[in-house]
């Protein structure tokens, strides 16, 4: 027998990130852009970019274990493994849900967010690379001396340097995925996803594939895209159709 939830229960099924996220994410993104393009704050932020890279990359000097560790996490082939691991975490969240109605809801949410994930990534690539043609050399190409893990490890499959470091598609994908997993998974699994995303954002800073500002902007961009994907009729229909058996 289907029993509709009462008004209080229905409110609990609304997205955790709703209007407040939309407002906060847009304000944060605009504020970050204003700070970057402000002649008074830009030199400080550029100095911070350089200092973070020098600190992270400098910690790799004469440390073979960490060179191998961060090198493996920067291998170009790890992208496919990341996607597989991310999908497995989302499947874990679904299988860990015992209530049938909630399980069905999480399946719909996960499919919806993965579709939005692909759309958001394509939009980012199309806007910043194909349309705006933003070119920015990564720190590994600008700052010298630097530890070149591709040379140290004799592995030229590493994502070490690029002339289009802004924004970081890698960080955008990880943060968006972790954010929607926090939204539609049990808390403990959401925390695992967040830890995984943060861990995989760090290698690009150690090896010099991205500046800190690239990653921060991409993080904010991911939250903006999340705010759009949870504040539309399609998502509201998915979440408000929640019923209990």
Residue 171 and residue 222 in contact, taking contact as beta carbons nearer than 8 Å: yes
Residue 138 and residue 208 in contact, taking contact as beta carbons nearer than 8 Å: yes
Residue 19 CA to residue 231 CA, distance in Å, equals 7
Q: Which pLDDT score is estimated for 241? A: 56
Residue 4 CA to residue 11 CA, distance in Å, equals 13
HEC profile of 117-149: HHHHHHHHHHHHHHHCCCCECCHHHHCCCCCCH
**pLDDT per position as a tens digit, 69-106:** 988 888 877 778 888 899 999 999 999 888 888 888 88
**pLDDT per position as a tens digit, 4-26:** 444 433 344 444 445 777 788 88
- Residues 6 or more apart whose CB falls under 8 angstroms from that of 171 comprise 201, 204, 210, 214, 215, 218, 219, 222
For residue 96 the two structure tokens come to 């860990």
Name residue 158's beta-bridge partners. 75
**pLDDT per position as a tens digit, 52-61:** 999 999 999 8
Mean pLDDT for the stretch of residues 215-233: 91
DSSP percent split of the chain into helix, strand, coil, nearest 5: 70, 0, 25
Q: Phi-psi bin for 229: left (phi > 0), alpha (psi -120 to 50), beta?
A: alpha
Residue 173 and residue 117 in contact, taking contact as beta carbons nearer than 8 Å: yes
Residue 59 CA to residue 72 CA, distance in Å, equals 16
Residue 51 CA to residue 38 CA, distance in Å, equals 20
**pLDDT per position as a tens digit, 123-161:** 888 888 778 788 888 898 888 888 888 888 887 788 888
Phi, psi of 38 (to 5 degrees): -80, 125
Alpha carbon dihedral 169, 171, 174, 180, in 10-degree steps, equals -90
For residue 114, give the nearest of 176, 172, 185 by alpha carbon: 176
Share of the chain above pLDDT 90, in %: 41
């Amino acid at each position: 027998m289907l029993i509709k939830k009462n008004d209080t229960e229905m409110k609990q099924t609304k997205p955790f990130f709703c209007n407040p996220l939309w407002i906060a994410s847009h304000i944060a993104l605009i504020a970050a852009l204003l700070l970057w393009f402000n002649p008074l704050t830009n030199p400080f932020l550029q100095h911070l970019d350089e200092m973070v890279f020098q600190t992270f990359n400098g910690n790799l000097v004469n440390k073979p274990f960490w060179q191998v560790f961060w090198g493996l996490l920067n291998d170009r082939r790890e992208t496919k493994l990341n996607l597989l691991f991310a999908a497995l975490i989302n499947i874990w969240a679904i299988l860990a849900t015992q209530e049938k109605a909630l399980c069905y809801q999480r399946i719909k949410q996960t499919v919806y967010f993965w579709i939005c994930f692909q759309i958001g990534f394509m939009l980012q690539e199309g806007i910043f690379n194909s349309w705006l043609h933003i070119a920015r050399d990564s720190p590994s190409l600008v700052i010298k001396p630097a530890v070149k893990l591709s040379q140290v490890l004799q592995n030229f499959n590493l994502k070490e340097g690029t002339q289009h470091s802004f924004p970081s598609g890698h960080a955008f994908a990880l943060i968006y995925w972790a954010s929607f997993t926090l939204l539609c998974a049990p808390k403990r699994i959401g925390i695992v996803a967040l830890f995984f995303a943060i861990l995989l954002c760090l290698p690009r800073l150690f090896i010099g594939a991205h500046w800190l500002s690239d990653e921060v902007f991409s993080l904010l961009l991911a939250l903006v895209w999340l705010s759009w994907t949870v504040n539309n009729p399609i998502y509201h229909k998915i979440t408000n159709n929640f019923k209990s058996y």
